[in-house]
């Protein structure tokens, strides 16, 4: 039983240690996952916002070139479109939610028409300048308004995509917080149970050890108080004296008292009373049967 309790105590300690390590591991895992998700959604929100910004800037450079004919705006337009497409590629690598991917697909389809539509206007602008020295924007009003609508839709969808991902992140964070609280509750419960079990085993083990020590002391004291007469005792057939190891003859009472813890109280048996005091023999009770030990000694 003692070994069993000690084993249980060690198992309880091991369980508590394992729970502590598991708690630290889970907490680290939650923090790591939260950090990764935070970076993931931050990248998506940033890319969506940048895509909307590049669309607005590309439209501005295109309109400025058509109106003011500045070469810098002509060169910056394809650069801004390229930056827009790069942000869309980042979004395509990061976004996983089906609804968000549908929105991204629409955004990519609309963005694919910007470069070709803008280059067509730029080519018409350059041809008009070379032929007439001026570019009439009203003659290309339909194409300009179509591109303007595409740029506006891209900006709106970029904002919608960023907002959608931010809300999605918020929901996931809230779910992670709930799971973390639930895990914390479970771990606290397990720690309480393991602690109670450890304390209980410790108390039981302490009681067992105390009981064993008490029993051991009692047995040692009992053994210390026990003195046993053994071997052959030379005894006088007449006076019943006993010879000790030194050759001296001692009264049987003294010998037994010296070699054991027995004590004597004096009395007189019925046979001796009848022999020494016959006048009182009639008052004695009926003589009890003779002890088998006495019968054996008589034989």
Looking at domain 2-209, which of 3.20.20.70, 1.50.10.10, 1.20.120.1730, 3.30.360.10 is its CATH number? 1.20.120.1730
pLDDT given for residue 297 in this prediction: 42
Q: Assign 142 a pLDDT band (cuts: 50, 70, 90).
A: very high
Domain positions in the chain are 2-209, 242-298
The answer to whether 165 and 45 have CB atoms below 8 angstroms apart is yes
pLDDT in tens, 81-140: 999 999 999 999 988 888 889 989 998 998 888 989 999 999 999 999 999 888 998 999
Q: Tell me, what DSSP letter sits at residue 252? A: H
pTM of the model: 0.52
Cα atoms in the Cβ-side hemisphere of radius 13 Å centred on 159: 8
Q: pLDDT tens digits, residue range 146-202?
A: 999 999 999 999 888 888 877 776 666 676 677 777 777 767 777 787 777 677 767
Is 126 within 8 Å of 19 (Cβ atoms)?
A: no
Burial 35-54 (b: 16+ CB within 10 A, else e): eeeeebbeebbebbbbbbbb
Confidence of residue 21 (pLDDT cuts 50, 70, 90): confident
């Amino acid at each position: 039983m003692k070994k069993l309790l000690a084993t249980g105590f060690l198992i309880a300690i091991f369980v508590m240690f394992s729970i502590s390590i598991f708690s630290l591991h889970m907490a680290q895992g939650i923090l790591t996952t939260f950090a990764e998700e935070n970076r993931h959604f931050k990248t998506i929100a940033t890319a969506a916002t940048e895509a909307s910004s590049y669309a607005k800037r590309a439209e501005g450079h295109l309109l400025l070139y058509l109106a003011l004919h500045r070469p810098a705006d002509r060169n910056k337009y394809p650069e801004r479109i390229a930056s827009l497409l790069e942000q869309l590629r980042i979004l395509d690598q990061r976004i996983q939610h089906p609804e968000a991917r549908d929105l991204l697909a629409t955004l990519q389809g609309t963005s694919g028409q910007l470069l070709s539509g803008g280059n067509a206007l730029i080519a018409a602008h350059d041809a008009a300048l070379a032929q007439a020295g001026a570019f009439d924007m009203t003659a290309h009003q339909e194409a300009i308004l179509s591109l303007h609508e595409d740029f506006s839709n891209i900006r709106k969808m970029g904002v919608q995509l960023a907002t959608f991902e931010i809300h999605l992140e918020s929901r996931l964070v809230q779910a992670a917080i709930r799971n973390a609280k639930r895990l914390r509750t479970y771990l606290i419960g397990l720690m309480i149970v393991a602690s109670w079990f450890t304390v209980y085993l410790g108390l039981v083990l302490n009681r067992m050890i105390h009981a064993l020590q008490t029993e051991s002391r009692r047995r040692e004291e009992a053994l210390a108080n026990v003195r046993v007469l053994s071997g052959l005792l030379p005894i006088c057939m007449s006076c019943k004296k006993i010879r000790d190891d030194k050759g001296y003859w001692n009264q049987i009472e003294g010998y037994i008292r010296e070699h054991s813890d027995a004590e004597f109280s004096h009395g007189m048996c019925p046979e001796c009373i009848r022999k020494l005091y016959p006048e009182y023999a009639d008052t004695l009770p009926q003589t009890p049967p003779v002890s088998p030990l006495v019968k054996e000694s008589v034989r």
